[in-house]
Amino acid sequence: MLSWQADGPVLLQIADAPDLSAPKLLYEGQAKSYFLSGLANGDYYLRLKGVGGTISAPLHVSVVHQSLTRALLLVAIGALVTLAIVVTILWGARDE
Amino acid sequence: MNEAAALLPPSVGWLLLALFSALWIGLGVYWGRRNKSFEDHALAGRNIGLALGSATAAATWITSNTTMLAPQFALELGVWGMLAYTTASFGLFLFAPMAGRIRKLMPTGYTSGDFFRLRYGRTAWAIYMVFTLFYSLTWLVSMAMAGGILLNALSGIPYAWGMTVILGVCVAYTMRGGLAAVIGTDFIQSLIIIVGVVIVGFAVLSHVSVEQIHENLEATRPALLNVLFPAAIMAIFNNLLFGLGEVFHNNVWWSRAFAFRDGVGGKAFALGGLIWFPIPVAAGFIALASGALNVAVPAADMVGPLVVAHVLGEFGAIAIFIVVFCSLASSLDSLLAATSDLLTEDIYRKLLRPDATPDKLKNMAQYVTLALGLFTWAVCLPRIGTLASVLFFAGPLVGAMIWPIVTGLYWRSANATGAVGGMLLGAGVGLVCYFAIGWYVATLMATAVSMVWVLACTHLSKSRFDWAQLSETA
């Protein structure tokens, strides 16, 4: 969550270089906060540009996602347990 | 829910609240006129048809979480997060064949507690009651709390008043009309929710194309489109199993299996799942469009209302207010009715007053509904914001009950040792995982451990259960 104070509308920009040489626009408007999500692994830099041309100091954000190996292991366990439940229900009562 | 500027003036919020409150209470009184006994009150005379049955299955499962948390999942976990949320529909799909089996084995049954008591004995029943009451009461409290917070965020109505009105309205019509009123209002509420979500979906698409949304996500939130997003794929089966555990164990769903006309249950739950399935997809899609629409989201759980208000203006804010009110009411009433019936049948009738008359039981169920409402109101009033998160603790508890229920319904060799051990070991390991690793593995590990124990006990067992023991005379 990013929050800021500004008198007027702002541009919120993001880039992967510390000098924000090729920034991408995240938001333009009057809001005072922004929920940031969905970034890939890596380092990012964010800044605000005001209408008068004032620019904030860059904010450094580092993103490290969880282990993909662990995630895939959990998916495998989940798939096995779910499949067993589905088969048990669809197979029904066979010993009546 | 974090603070955000209200989308509607309080006067409009109060007007909408008054109109819908009068409608639900009026219908509850009207539908309650025919209730003469506990069976009428708790199970609507066991005569619910396919249309009402499908609608109540879908509407009960559309909680405030479906309309508010599904967009949050999409914004935090991307396309996989949105799909992970839709896996909750598997609970209804898989309960469809189980509902037919329940009705066949227990033609005079009242509650899921009856099943545990008759199938596995008092010890398993006692553990089940502790687990299910913890889950039901935390769900009830979190929904009532969400009602107050959402009405405050949407229209500026003070939290205490919003929570009190929505809870009071649900208690009033559930007390008066019983399950018939709950199912009848669910039918209307499900229609309102579906129409509202369809209007919002088309409105969003008229403002921004799918290509623009994809282009924006690829540029600014690329992980949301990543098919190997670790946090998102971890959530898939944990969510799916949480949903299965919620539906399989709770009396909200069992009471419907008993209330549906013979032969209706399977079709009604399957249709309910199909009706429910697109709702979180549409809600999640709205969240994914927020960047392309240049909507600044101050908190992930407010993304849905903010996008809708941005696209449709005041009309959109009114639509989301009504959808949220209907989502909350359709779940709160079901939970009040099902928990009240569970306490009346399993505690009052079976433990305290076995000779209570049908009329006395109906009155008791009404008092219990009122008591549940007062308890919920007292817990919610101080607005302890973190209490809603307690609901996530229930994940291991409900996951651990899946295998005892499924094998208990289909396998003669399933036994009390398996059920008791499966519930206790599964819940214990799941809670340890919850604190040691995180919420995203808790239900999964609880279900897996419970499965291993139940299968081992069943394999080693020489006992063969007599299904006739489940058809207890009412």
Residue A71 and residue A35 share a domain: no
Residue B412 resides in a domain: no
Residue A34 and residue A18 share a domain: yes
CATH of the domain at A51: 2.60.40
Q: How many domains does chain B have?
A: 1
Residue B316's contacts (CB-CB under 8 Å, 6 or more residues apart) are B200, B203, B308, B309, B310
Residue B436 resides in a domain: no
**Sign of the CA dihedral B121, B102, B66, B185?**
negative
Per CB-CB distance under 8 Å, the chain B contacts of A75 are 233-234, 236-237
> Residue A42: closest CA among chain B residues belongs to which residue?
B223
Residue A73 and residue A42 share a domain: no
DSSP, res A55? B
Nearest Cα of chain A lies from the Cα of B259 at a distance, in angstroms, of 21
Phi/psi-derived region of residue B324, left when phi > 0, alpha when psi is between -120 and 50, beta in every other case: alpha
User: Which of A35, A68, A93 is opposite residue B297, by nearest beta carbon?
Assistant: A35
User: Which of B226, B241, B412 is opposite residue A95, by nearest beta carbon?
Assistant: B412
Interchain contact, B406 vs A14, CB within 8 Å:
no
Is B250:B135 a contact under the CB 8 Å cutoff?
yes
Nearest Cα of chain A lies from the Cα of B315 at a distance, in angstroms, of 22
Residue A45 and residue A76 share a domain: no
Residue B432 resides in a domain: no
Residue A77 and residue A52 share a domain: no
Residue A49 and residue A82 share a domain: no
Residue B22 resides in a domain: yes
Residue A72 and residue A56 share a domain: no
Q: Give yes or no for A64 touching B (CB within 8 A).
A: no
Q: Which A residues in the span 2-31 are in contact with B, Cβ-Cβ below 8 Å? A: 14, 24, 26-29, 31
Residue A59 and residue A89 share a domain: no
User: Which pLDDT score, from 0 to 100, does residue B387 have?
Assistant: 52
Residue B397 resides in a domain: no
Distance CA A16, CA A20 (A): 7
Q: Give yes or no for B231 touching A (CB within 8 A).
A: yes
User: Which of A40, A81, A96 is opposite residue B447, by nearest beta carbon?
Assistant: A81
User: Which of B221, B228, B444 is opposite residue A37, by nearest beta carbon?
Assistant: B221
Distance CA A68, CA B126 (A): 40
Residue A53 and residue A10 share a domain: yes
Is B453:B418 a contact under the CB 8 Å cutoff?
yes
Residue A29 and residue A40 share a domain: yes
Q: Give yes or no for B168 touching A (CB within 8 A).
A: no
Residue A47 and residue A85 share a domain: no
Nearest Cα of chain A lies from the Cα of B224 at a distance, in angstroms, of 5
Q: Which A residues in the span 67-96 are in contact with B, Cβ-Cβ below 8 Å? A: 67-68, 70-72, 74-75, 77-79, 81-82, 84-86, 88-93, 95-96
Amino acid of residue B124: A
What range defines the domain where residue B97 resides? 10-390
Nearest Cα of chain A lies from the Cα of B34 at a distance, in angstroms, of 37
Q: Give the pLDDT confidence of B74-89 residue by residue, as tens digits.
A: 988 999 988 888 999 9
Residue B447 resides in a domain: no
The residue written with tokens 């889950």 in the block is B135
Amino acid of residue B343: L
Distance CA B339, CA B255 (A): 10
Q: How many domains does chain A have?
A: 2
User: Which pLDDT score, from 0 to 100, does residue B19 have?
Assistant: 95
Q: Give the pLDDT confidence of B365-396 residue by residue, as tens digits.
A: 999 999 999 999 999 998 776 555 667 789 99
Residue B40 resides in a domain: yes
What range defines the domain where residue A80 resides? 66-96
**Helix extents (H) in B156-264:** 159-207, 210-220, 230-249, 251-259
Q: DSSP string spanning B33-57?
A: TT--SHHHHHHGGG-B-HHHHHHHH
Nearest Cα of chain A lies from the Cα of B454 at a distance, in angstroms, of 12
**SS3 assignment, position B401:** coil
Residue A56 and residue A25 share a domain: yes
Distance CA B363, CA B344 (A): 10
- The pLDDT of residue A78 is above 90: yes
DSSP, res B345? I
Residue B411 resides in a domain: no
CATH of the domain at B170: 1.20.1730.10
Mean pLDDT of chain B: 90
Question: Which residue positions in chain B have pLDDT lower than 70?
Answer: 1-5, 64-65, 385-390, 473-474
Hey, what are B202's tokens? 């088309």
